[in-house]
Amino acid sequence: MTVDDFRSSIDAASSDVERRPGATTERSALAAVVVPLRQVPPTYPDQRPSPGRLRQIDRAFFGPFFREKYGTGGDKALENGRIRYYGPVQPANNAGELAGRRYVHEFDTMTGCTRGWHETLDRMGNVRQVRPERPNGMMGHYQFDSNGRYKGSW
Amino acid sequence: MEVDLQAVRRVFKDVLNGHMLREQADRWAYAVVREEETGVVTYSPPRERERIWAGVMYLYGIDTMKAPNTYLHSNDDIREAMMAIVGGVGDNLASTILRALERPSQCLAVSEASVLD
């Protein structure tokens, strides 16, 4: 499902509500004060949302807040209920196989917690280095090879 | 906390001319990001919010290294980013003119006072 499909389904759901018998007078009386909410099908408490569902929730609720700030380079919904927002790649022109870095902001929809780190990418788009932001201010660079295997840190 | 375009540009310039360490610039930007998370950052001028934020997000992580004691970004990278995001020296004049145009009432008040004198 694309964003446009999702928006269309939301619009259709809103139209259905408005077509209910008796809804016309209600609507006219409250039209000035009722702000129609975006409607998203419910998720049961014991059910972890699928990435597709998470993406729907993100588009409707969190996205406008996080995407504008951190997700100009894209975003990805994960299996574990988290959404990652990618910043633009800041190019490094004299760094050999490394193409640049980007900031990644991760939002956990289950807990509301966020965390962030800087990734260094190679020219093939592989993440070769991660530099997490730690609460104590200490930072390390964690390196990976082109196959994603951890090499070491400093 | 208020962040303006000049402050961001100044940090870029300070890094480039060696008056500020990249690590300090990174921490300055991180402080802005943290404040932004609590929603208390104001951008001046507000219409430049996107450029200011883009500048902050570039500075955040500017001290990333590709190997121990070797920065990922060259000064040329940083200079190019500064020009693209917050503009160069010539932009100061443009901003001044735009600010003056945004306050026509003050300009009018000055000219009226001049006439009365």
Residue extents of the structural domains in chain B: 2-86, 89-117
- Hey, how many other C-beta atoms are within 10 angstroms of the C-beta on A145? 11
What is the β-pairing status of strands B2-4 and A150-153? unpaired
Question: Residue B75 carries which side chain, given as an amino acid letter?
Answer: N
Smallest CA–CA distance from A137 into chain B, residue:
B27
Name the residue with tokens 């507000």. Answer: B46
Q: Does residue A99 sit within a domain?
A: yes
Q: Does residue A128 sit within a domain?
A: yes
Chain A residues with CB inside 8 Å of B29's CB?
Answer: none
- Any idea which of A2-6, A22-26, A104-108, B29-33 has the lowest mean pLDDT? A2-6
Is residue B52 predicted with pLDDT exceeding 90?
yes
Q: Has the ipTM of the complex gone over 0.85?
A: no
Residue A72: closest CA among B75, B47, B35, B51: B51
Query: How far is residue A121's CA from residue A123's CA, in Å, rounded to a whole number?
Result: 7
The domain of A110 spans: 49-154
Q: Does residue A62 sit within a domain?
A: yes
Stated pTM of the model: 0.70
The alpha carbon of residue B98 is apart from the nearest alpha carbon of chain A, in Å, by 25
pLDDT reported for residue A68? 85
Query: How far is residue B87's CA from residue B113's CA, in Å, rounded to a whole number?
Result: 36
Residue B60: closest CA among B16, B20, B24, B30: B30
A55 with A108, same domain?
yes
- Any idea which of A25-29, A59-63, B92-96 has the lowest mean pLDDT? A25-29
Q: Does residue A44 sit within a domain?
A: no
Q: Does residue A151 sit within a domain?
A: yes
Phi, psi of A141 (to 5 degrees): -105, 125
- CB pair distance less than 8 Å for A91 and B30: no
Q: Within the 36-65 window of chain A, which residues sit less than 8 Å (CB to CB) from chain B?
A: none
The alpha carbon of residue B24 is apart from the nearest alpha carbon of chain A, in Å, by 12
Chain B residues with CB inside 8 Å of A103's CB?
Answer: 57, 60-61
Smallest CA–CA distance from A86 into chain B, residue:
B57
The alpha carbon of residue B56 is apart from the nearest alpha carbon of chain A, in Å, by 11
A77 with A136, same domain?
yes
- CB pair distance less than 8 Å for A120 and B66: yes
Query: How far is residue A90's CA from residue A84's CA, in Å, rounded to a whole number?
Result: 18
> Mean pLDDT throughout A91-95?
92
From the number of C-beta atoms within 10 Å of its C-beta (0-12, 13-18, 19+), residue A106 rates as middle
Q: What stretch of H or E contains A55?
A: helix A51-57
Give the percent of chain A with pLDDT over 70: 60
Label residue A123 by pLDDT band (50, 70, 90). Answer: very high
Most confident of A64-68, A94-98, B38-42, B53-57: B53-57
Q: Does residue A89 sit within a domain?
A: yes
Q: Does residue A79 sit within a domain?
A: yes
Q: In this structure, what DSSP letter does residue B55 have?
A: H
The alpha carbon of residue B108 is apart from the nearest alpha carbon of chain A, in Å, by 38
The length of chain A, given as a count of residues: 154
Is residue A99 predicted with pLDDT exceeding 70?
yes
Phi, psi of B91 (to 5 degrees): -70, -25
More confident residue, B9 or B107: B9
> Mean pLDDT throughout A111-116?
88
Is residue A13 predicted with pLDDT exceeding 60?
no
Q: How many CB pairs under 8 A join A and B?
A: 47
State the best of A67, A118, A121 to mutate against chain B, taking most chain B CBs within 10 Å.
A118
A76 with A136, same domain?
yes
Smallest CA–CA distance from A93 into chain B, residue:
B77
